[in-house]
Amino acid sequence: LSKNLSISSDSLAQSLNRGFSTETGRKLEGKVALITGAARGIGKATAAKFIDNGAKVVVADIDQHIGEETAKELGANAAFIACDVTNESDISNVVDFTISRHGKLDIMYNNAGVACNTPPSIVDLDLQVFDRVMGINVRGVVAGIKHSSRVMIPRRSGSILCTASVTGVMGGLAQHTYSVSKSAVIGVVKSMAAELSSYGIRINSISPFAVPTRFVLEEMSRLYPGVDASRLTEMVQNAGVLKGANCEPIDIANAALYLASDDAKYVSGHNLMVDGGFTSFKTFNF
Ligand code: NAD
Q: What is the pLDDT of residues 47-74, one digit of tens each?
A: 999 999 999 999 999 999 999 999 999 9
Calculate how far, in angstroms, residue 3's C-alpha sits from the geometric centre of ligand 1: 63
Q: What is the pLDDT of residues 230-263, one digit of tens each?
A: 999 988 888 888 888 888 999 999 999 999 999 9
Q: How much is the pLDDT for 6?
A: 65
Ligand 1 mutation pick, 213, 217, 218, 279, max ligand atoms within 8 A of CB: 213
What is the mean pLDDT of the segment spanning 70-83?
98
- In three-state secondary structure terms, 155 is helix
Task: Name 112's Cβ contacts closer than 8 Å, sequence gap at least 6.
Answer: 36, 37, 43, 60, 61, 62, 85, 136, 140
Q: How far apart are CA 216 and CA 218, in angstroms?
A: 5
Query: Residue 137: left if φ>0, alpha if ψ -120 to 50, beta else—which one?
Result: alpha
CA distances from 252 to 43, 100, 151, 248 (A): 9, 29, 26, 7
Q: How much is the pLDDT for 223?
A: 85
Sign for the CA dihedral angle at 219, 278, 61, 205 comes to negative
By the 8 A CB rule, do 157 and 100 touch?
Answer: no
Report the side by side order of strands in the sheet with 158-163: 78-82, 56-61, 32-36, 107-110, 158-163, 201-208, 271-274
Q: What are phi and psi of 56, to 5 degrees?
A: -100, 135
pLDDT of residue 18 exceeding 60, the answer is: yes
Q: What ipTM score was computed for the predicted complex, to two decimals?
A: 0.99
Q: How far apart are CA 39 and CA 166, in angstroms?
A: 23
Q: How far apart are CA 59 and CA 78, in angstroms?
A: 7
Q: Residue whose CA is closest, atom 39 of ligand 1?
A: 211
Give the total residue count for the chain. 286
Q: How far apart are CA 46 and CA 162, in angstroms?
A: 12
Q: How far apart are CA 96 and CA 81, in angstroms?
A: 11
What is the mean pLDDT of the segment spanning 162-172?
90
Q: What are phi and psi of 127, to 5 degrees?
A: -70, -15
Q: How confident is the model at residue 279 (pLDDT cuts 50, 70, 90)?
A: confident
Q: How much is the pLDDT for 22?
A: 56
- In three-state secondary structure terms, 163 is strand
By the 8 A CB rule, do 58 and 98 touch?
Answer: yes
The DSSP annotation for 61-106 comes to: ES-HHHHHHHHHHH-TTEEEEE--TT-HHHHHHHHHHHHHHHS---
Q: How much is the pLDDT for 204?
A: 98
Percentage of the chain lying above the pLDDT 70 cut: 91
pLDDT of residue 164 exceeding 70, the answer is: yes
Ligand 1 mutation pick, 109, 136, 163, 236, max ligand atoms within 8 A of CB: 163
Q: How much is the pLDDT for 284?
A: 58
Q: How far apart are CA 110 and CA 203, in angstroms?
A: 11
Average pLDDT along the chain: 91
Q: Residue whose CA is closest, atom 10 of ligand 1?
A: 37
Q: Residue whose CA is closest, atom 44 of ligand 1?
A: 165
Q: What is the pLDDT of residues 107-142, one digit of tens each?
A: 999 999 998 877 888 898 999 999 999 999 999 999
Q: What are phi and psi of 111, to 5 degrees?
A: -110, -25
**Could you list the active site residues?**
178
Q: Is the pTM of this model over 0.90?
A: yes
